[in-house]
């Protein structure tokens, strides 16, 4: 009885499988209409239409990225039919096209190798000819001399032949170098094809049931990995009496395996890969200091650069490099190089590349080279079935702020070309910037810069100097009500008085009402801090030691206009009741007793200078020692 039941079950499963396999498949072509690019990942919106047959059948949409998140797939259909199920699977047959492309690239590399081998042989022959020519410089032997005519002919021959050899050597060496460059490009392209696409694409299979044949259209959206964007800025100030020009840009990178051709782009500050779970507060256990581990103070760096390699030692172009916990990042160039400005809170970098395990590296140097290793489990096939869902982009409770980024300024009476128009949409938990014009971004891992907004922002300008640390003066632009611009933390290129002055970090994560943007160093203002040795003395009075210090700060304005400068210095702050610190002379500066910081805001006329004095006194017991210098 058991055996009969088992046979019956197997027969039913077999019949069901056969019937499922016999369902007709209809291929629909699809087009990417919109892409919402997140800080990590992207949401793709596609449309597809065609004719469906009567009865049950599969609508198959092919040529999708292999990095589609199957749990995120949502399908909406229009027509006289019912969607029964939706699933995604890897299309391994599409890998044949990739293999053909790889074979074509490998054939090109073989051709380059053959040409370089022939070139190397010719280089060897020329080198031997040059050696032979040089070895026979002795003309006429040691006994027989040459007349002037013969000597001139010999010299002309030697010069002519050697020039020909040298010229051909140079051309051949140039040819070798060009071949190596082209070969590296082909190798990198093969690596991207092999490691970024799993040699396959994916397809979405929609099971439908229709009473009669007829037209059908579908709207699909899903999340895809290996794409993202980083906010970048160009900050321009013509002079301190003009508004600040802020060009907001998106540095986009995508290696999804599918090109985004002429699509509508949105850039969101959201990250669907982050957990939305509220964190919990763990128990805080307090113990004696000797049983507590203290972390050493970390050295801070303002920038970091380096290269990223694969395990074979070859550079990995298109590797994303992100400052952990921020929106500051970039992608490596064709030679694997990267460079980033760092915020003060930066502690580690996260490196990720398609087909490789991500790697987090602490920032312990201004130069960091990294090797990534393949992750064989990254692209395992997973087939998931589900149901269709009628889903539209939620626009409820949103604020739409329309604006054009057209610049009003003119240069030599010729109107500046307008920037791309964008719409800022503030949702409940995220902000999106919508680009009005369609854009094309290829799936090659290269960085593409997209202009988002251009602002003319009223700003207050102030020069800032901390001569105890740095003798240069920095221009700082202060922006009030900056939250209205929907900025994110990111790198900024600084331009002052029509010249590039450096890079900085726009700290849009600040909690202050006023956003400060450092505009770099101004060499036209000079600050010097000198210690007055005559006043700086050490005396013994009773059971105490008294030490005094005086520093003279000189500010020289070499500009053609008056400037306001904020100067900061400090006196020590005692943390011991037996040590007392007293400020003697501050030249009108304001002191914060909690931090010991002394600040001045002074107006310095054009071509003049001002002096400030900082004097303080420290008393402590004779038996102890303090370090003041």
| Interval 54-108: pLDDT, tens | 999 999 998 898 888 888 899 999 999 999 999 888 776 655 455 666 777 888 8
Query: Which of 533, 531, 536, 532 shows the shortest CA–CA distance to 618?
Result: 536
Length of the chain: 629
Q: Which residues contact 577 (CB under 8 A, 6 or more apart)?
A: none
Domains recognised in the chain with CATH numbers: 20-136+160-225 (no CATH), 227-272+417-461+472-521 (no CATH), 290-384 (2.60.40.1120), 525-621 (2.60.40)
pLDDT at 216: 93
Over the stretch 388-421, which tens digit does the pLDDT of each residue have? 333 333 333 332 333 333 333 333 333 444 444 5
The yes-or-no verdict on residue 21 having pLDDT over 60 is no
Q: Please, are residues 196 and 255 in contact by the beta-carbon 8 Å criterion?
A: yes
Q: Which residue has the higher pLDDT, 116 or 585?
A: 585
- pLDDT of residue 376 exceeding 80, the answer is no
CB atoms < 10 A from the CB of 177, how many?
A: 10
Query: Within a 13 Å sphere around the CA of 428, how many CA atoms are in the beta-carbon half?
Result: 5
pLDDT at 583: 92
CA distance 501 to 413: 27
Residue 142 has pLDDT above 70, yes or no: no
Give the pLDDT band (50/70/90) at residue 471: confident
More reliable by pLDDT, 27 or 519: 27
Among 143-157, 263-277, 523-537, which is the least confidently predicted range? Answer: 143-157
Q: Diameter of the chain by CA atoms? A: 120
pLDDT band at 209 (very low <50, low <70, confident <90, very high): very high
Residue 215 C-alpha from the chain's centroid = 45
The average pLDDT across 10-29 equals 65
Q: Which pLDDT score is estimated for 522?
A: 85
pLDDT digits 0-9 by tens, 161-190: 778 888 888 888 888 888 888 887 777 767
What is the share, in percent, of the chain residues with pLDDT greater than 70? 77
* Per-residue pLDDT, 47: 94
Average pLDDT of every residue of the chain: 79
Tens of pLDDT along 271-281? 776 655 566 67
Q: Are strands 260-268 and 431-435 parallel, antiparallel or unpaired?
A: antiparallel
- Residues with Cβ within 8 Å of 230's Cβ and at least 6 positions away in sequence, in order, are 39, 250, 251, 322, 327, 328, 329, 330, 490, 491
Q: pTM value?
A: 0.61
User: Can you tell me the mean pLDDT for 48-58?
Assistant: 93
Average pLDDT over residues 30-57: 93
Of the candidate ranges 95-104, 126-135, 516-525, 563-572, the one whose mean pLDDT is the lowest: 95-104
Q: Is the pLDDT of residue 111 over 80?
A: yes
E strand intervals along 7-110: 24-28, 30-37, 42-52, 55-64, 74-79, 82-91
The more confidently predicted of residues 105 and 196 is 105
pLDDT value of residue 3: 56
Residue with tokens 């102890």: 624
**Banded model confidence at residue 432, pLDDT cuts 50, 70, 90:** confident
Q: DSSP of 359-411, one letter per residue?
A: EEEE--SSB--EE--B-TTTT----EEE---------TT-EEEEE------EE
Higher-confidence position of 6 and 212: 212
Return the pLDDT at 198.
45
* 15 contact partners, CB below 8 Å, separation of at least 6: none
Measuring CA to CA, how many Å separate 162 from each of 126, 133, 141, 156, 171? 10, 8, 21, 10, 14
d(CA 358, CA 373): 9
Tokens standing for 545?
Answer: 């030691």
CA atoms of 558 and 525, how far apart (whole Å): 6
- At 388, phi and psi to the nearest 5? -75, 155
- pLDDT tens column, 331-367: 887 778 898 888 877 889 999 887 788 999 999 888 9
> Cα–Cα distance between 185 and 188 in angstroms, integer?
5
CA distance 507 to 492: 10
CB 244 within 8 A of CB 341: no
Q: What are the Cα distances from residue 524, in Å, to 151, 316, 517, 559?
A: 65, 42, 19, 6
pLDDT tier for residue 486 given thresholds of 50, 70 and 90: confident
> What per-residue string of b and e applies to 550-588 under the rule 16 or more CB within 10 Å gives b?
bbbbebebeeeeebebbbebbbeeeeeeebebeeeebbe
């Amino acid at each position: 009885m058991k055996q009969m039941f088992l046979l019956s079950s197997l027969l039913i499963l077999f019949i069901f499988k056969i019937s499922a396999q016999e369902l007709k498949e209809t291929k629909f072509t699809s087009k990417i209409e919109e892409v919402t690019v997140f800080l990590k990942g992207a949401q793709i919106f596609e449309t597809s239409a065609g004719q469906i047959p009567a009865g049950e059948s599969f609508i198959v949409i092919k040529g999708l990225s292999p990095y589609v998140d199957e749990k995120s797939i949502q399908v909406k259909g229009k027509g006289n039919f019912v969607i029964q199920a939706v699933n995604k699977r890897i299309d391994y047959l599409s890998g044949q096209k990739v293999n053909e492309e790889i074979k074509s690239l490998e054939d090109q590399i073989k051709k380059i190798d053959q040409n370089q081998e022939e070139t190397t042989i010719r280089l060897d022959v020329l080198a031997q000819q040059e050696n032979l020519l040089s070895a026979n410089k002795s003309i006429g032997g040691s006994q027989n001399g040459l007349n002037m005519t013969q000597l001139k002919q010999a010299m002309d021959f030697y010069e002519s032949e050697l020039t020909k050899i040298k010229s051909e050597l140079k051309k051949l060496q140039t040819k070798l170098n060009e071949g190596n460059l082209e070969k590296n490009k082909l190798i990198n392209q093969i690596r991207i094809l092999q490691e970024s696409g799993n040699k396959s694409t994916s397809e979405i299979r929609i099971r439908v049931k229709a009473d009669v044949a007829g037209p059908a259209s579908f709207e699909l959206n899903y999340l895809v990995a290996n794409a993202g964007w980083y906010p970048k800025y160009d900050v321009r100030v013509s002079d301190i009496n003009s508004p600040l020009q802020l060009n907001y840009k998106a540095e986009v990178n995508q290696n999804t395996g599918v090109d985004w051709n002429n699509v509508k782009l949105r850039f969101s500050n959201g990250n669907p890969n982050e957990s939305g779970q509220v964190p919990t507060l763990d128990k805080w256990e307090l113990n004696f200091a000797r049983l507590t581990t203290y972390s050493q103070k970390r050295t801070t760096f303002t920038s970091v650069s380096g290269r990223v390699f694969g395990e074979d030692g070859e550079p990995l172009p298109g590797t994303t490099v992100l400052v952990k916990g921020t929106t500051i990042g970039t992608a490596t160039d064709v030679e694997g190089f990267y460079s980033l400005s760092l915020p003060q809170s930066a502690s580690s970098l996260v490196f990720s590349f398609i087909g490789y395990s991500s790697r987090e590296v602490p920032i312990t140097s201004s130069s960091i080279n990294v090797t990534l290793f393949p992750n064989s489990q990254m692209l395992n096939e997973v087939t998931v079935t589900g149901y269709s869902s009628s889903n539209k982009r939620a626009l409820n409770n949103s604020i739409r702020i329309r604006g054009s980024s057209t610049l009003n300024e003119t240069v030599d009476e010729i109107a500046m070309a307008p920037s791309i128009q964008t719409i800022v949409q503030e949702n409940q938990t995220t902000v999106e910037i919508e680009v009005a014009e369609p854009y094309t971004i290829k799936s090659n891992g290269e960085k593409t810069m997209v202009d988002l907004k251009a602002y003319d922002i009223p700003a207050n300008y102030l020069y800032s100097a901390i001569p105890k640390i740095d003798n240069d003066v920095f221009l700082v632009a202060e922006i009030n009500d900056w939250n209205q611009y929907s900025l994110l933390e990111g790198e900024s290129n600084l331009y002052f008085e029509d010249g590039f002055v450096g890079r900085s970090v726009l700290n849009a994560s600040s909690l202050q009402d006023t956003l400060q943007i450092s505009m770099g160093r101004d060499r036209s203002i000079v600050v010097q801090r000198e210690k007055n040795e005559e006043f700086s003395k050490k005396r013994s009075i009773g059971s105490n030691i008294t030490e005094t210090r005086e520093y003279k700060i000189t500010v020289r304005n070499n500009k053609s206009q008056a400037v306001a400068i904020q100067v900061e210095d400090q006196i020590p702050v005692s943390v011991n009741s037996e040590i007392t610190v007293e400020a003697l002379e501050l030249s009108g500066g304001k002191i914060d007793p909690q931090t010991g910081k002394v600040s001045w805001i002074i107006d310095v006329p054009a071509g003049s200078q001002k002096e400030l004095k900082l004097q303080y006194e420290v008393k402590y017991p004779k038996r102890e020692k303090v370090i003041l210098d």
